[in-house]
Amino acid sequence: MKSLVSILSLSSLLLAGLARAEERCAVAMVDWQPREAVLQLAEQNGWQVRRIRIDDGCYEVLGTDATGRKIDVKLHPGTLAIVQNGHKEDDSKKHGDD
């Protein structure tokens, strides 16, 4: 019985987290900025774009920043405000390989 309660509690937390992620970028598609605007923003920030995709209702830009570091940036689709900014580590650096 305790494990069932634990599973249900964990499931509730996960679903709540997913709902919050989708809410922060909840915009009707007709109000989205075009992909060209995302590319222009990336250029202004010195980003080299490898891929633009949609994740959790946000634009997600994968590429490198002006210094060559890998980036994974989420943008609000209506305003293009940065919702989440993340730098990705090179896998070889994570594992200590040179």
- Greater pLDDT, 74 or 18: 74
Q: What pTM value is reported for the model?
A: 0.67
Q: Which two tokens stand for residue 14?
A: 């996960």
d(CA 65, CA 87): 9
pLDDT at 21 over 90: no
Neighbours of 79 (CB within 10 A): 12
**Tokens coding 63:** 């590429």
Q: Which tens digit of pLDDT belongs to each residue from 22-79?
A: 568 999 999 999 999 999 999 999 999 999 999 999 999 999 999 999 999 999 999 9
Mean pLDDT, residues 77-91 taken together: 82
pLDDT of 88 over the 70 cut: no
Please name each of the domains of the chain with its CATH number: 2-94 (3.10.450)
Pairing of strands 82-88, 48-55: unpaired
Predicted confidence (pLDDT) at residue 20 exceeds the cutoff of 70: no
